[in-house]
Structure 1
Amino acid sequence: MSAADVVGPQALPELQAQVARIIAEAKQQGASACEVAVSVEQGLSTSVRQGEVETVEFNRDQGFGITLYVGQRKGSASTSASGDAAIRETVAAALAIAKHASEDDCAGLADPELMARDLPDLDLYHAWDITPEQAIERALSCEAAAFATDKRIKNADGTTLNTHQGCRVYGNSHGFVGGYASTRQSLSCVMIAEADGLMQRDYWYDVNRRGEDLADAASIGRRAAERAVSRLGARPVPTCEVPVLFAAELATGLFSHFLSAISGGNLYRKSSFLEGALGQQLFPQWLNLDERPHIPRALGSAAFDGDGLATYAKSFVERGELRSYILGTYSGRKLGLPSTANSGGVHNLFVSHGEDDQAALIRRMGRGLLVTELMGQGLNLVTGDYSRGAGGFWVENGEIQFPVQEVTIAGNLRDMFKQILAVGSDLELRSNVRTGSVLIERMMVAGS
């Protein structure tokens, strides 16, 4: 059996048997209910810099985590070991924690009748038969293409190829057991451009379930180099209030902030500016946000959530109106609402978009800032206040004029969401959030 087989679909029966042993041990030690997640994974990481190999690392991890209940008391423990002694000790540790925990009326497994029944095959596992030597060659060719793109590319900050494959099984004392094998492959390149004694750094990457479907290594290197060169001569702009266009790869973050704000954990803790916003108009009427968890091979796809409930397609925002929170079993109980089968998060969020690509949105913007880099955290989820260091390009008369750095963009997410003028057709497919570039009518840009 090959190494790939050990962590691929062939590992499922063994992991399922391990889940059964752990649940049986928990019951024997006195738990009234329990849930277990068992996983095994491995990967190869290869990085090069300046034509030299920096690292070749092979990693392999395994282990399990158990959450058990004694009535309404909860305890959790985990280990990287998998033998019978480790199972007994980890269960005992979780049980000791539960016995000292406070009672929680919302604690416990999801109702038995809600457990997933039929789990679709989402085609998430595609082992990549690539040797370390081949991985090095691909990374080197990516970097070489970057250096060949422009004479102003003077240095490299690392080109890395990663492969990952794993198998995970979740089960609970209701009798639910579900598992899947998955893969994730990526290639990234970071380059440094220099001119007139000044340097700029930028990157590009691709990620896919299938290694064979990754973008050509040379094209990734060229894109990283072009982006770095395009930033040379960057300067601040005077403080102003102008339209702001978020490049698609950054616009994903805007909608990720929104998902955090409507997540049950933040809502019941009263730490979200969207507490009580269900039914409110938060976005323009033309905008929809929906979850599509069963797309074959997609990076965010999942057949069941962290509580064992079957995932399903749903709208969070319809015609600009908030239609649903993001709830797991526990957060739903805390809010007096049913679970939306989102314990563990959202799986493949789709943002509705128009037909204009980024270039068309730049023309539509006329004058303003195209943001291609964000720095710092700068978000207060309680108030929605947003302030981030940014870099990108200044636009006049619908055309890029010069690169921009050392500015801060600021606003409030409530206002920013309402002021979305358009979402581009240049969809970002390397993320769990699928969106194009986002044009916002007005934000404060603080510069020189």
Structure 2
Amino acid sequence: MLVALLGTGILFTFRLRFIQVTKIKSIFKEVFSKPEKETEDVGMSAFQSLSTAIAAQVGTGNLAGVATAIAAGGPGAIFWMWISGFFGMGTIFAEAVLAQTYNRSINGELVGGPAYYLRYGLKSKFLAGFFSISIIFALGFMGSMVQSNSIGLAVNNAFPIPKIVIGIIVAALAALILLGGVSRIASFTEKVVPFMAALYILGGIVVLAINYSEILPALKMIVWGAFNPRAATGGFIGATVKETLRYGVARGLFSNEAGMGSTPHAHAVAKVDHPVQQGYVSMLGVIVDTGIVCTITALVILTTGAFETGLTSSELTQEGFRLGFSNFGDFGLQFIAVALFFFAFSTIIGWYFFGELNIKYLFGKGGVKYYRALVLICIVVGTLLDVELVWALADMFNALMVIPNLIALVGLSALVVKAVNEFDSKKKNKSQNIS
């Protein structure tokens, strides 16, 4: 699975001539662009779609996932996480372009995602249905349990609140947003996601400023540890290069979701003039997720020495911030509890939305109320389950949804290349006409 995901990213990186480097200006320019042609008041703006995608991307993978990668694979795992993120930008670009190309307006509502480019692009009704069922279970049900489980652990670790109470509160807050439909979800993500990311990044920068003398040694551990894990940490973490690469790539892909088929749902409903524009926007999600948030988490864990404690998952990240803010009592524990709540809660909202689009694809609007009720139940139940069981179930269904999505991406790769060439040609002609 890792070879297939990373291989797809490498394929698009070369076929699109390293688009994540050559079009870096376009990535930031298109985020706030508005369509030139008038569109119906449906869907989301490019920024709202990006915020919804980032809401799904920035979650437990950025805190618990990064910590797990370091604990199991050593600091060098972060180097491979960066590599997977770089190539993942090519994959996520292709997903967004295809999602835009094959989106549909049904009953005045804009819909799209892998199910649509599988059915109408690849002409496979079976794979489209298989993908839809897999993502409903992977993100809507199991994914909600993963996120609420992490919220329950972190909040319970920092505050004396029973997990069942935490689960009920999270479910009630989610219901207030989900009942408002697409417009309320879009409004929530565009306001909360920038705030939560900025809050976490600021907290991380403060810790790094306190431990500034350890930043260069930490970076050295990351780069050196990618090829010689034992030497990088004095043999403290007995990882091999194979384990370091495996955990780095795995957690990187789980975090930024490149190739998983989740974020295309958000980018499919963006109001843009050309699919390639949203492709550029989609790559910014990986930059924020893996390039900034994951890196902040890793450097905090390494510069504070938390990685030597033997902890793992979100507890390791909490320990890093606890040590970083050691002069302020338990502030570090509480900070991560709050940050993880926002991260995981916004991911629940984003993943719910992706699942809902597939419920509509399979059953129409009539199935949404039953799906919503089951998701809310999963949120509560997730806080009570064993963490290993929850992650195992999520990983299994994630794998099932990845397979048909990668088949579509590779099968329709020529169409993505054609779309880029067409967009560049139009842009060049427009520029010549203006001059």
User: TM-score surpassing 0.5?
Assistant: no
Q: Which has the higher contact order (CA 8 A, sep 6+)?
A: 2
TM-score, reference length from structure 1: 0.29
TM-score, reference length from structure 2: 0.30
Larger radius of gyration: 1
Bigger fraction of residues in helix: 2
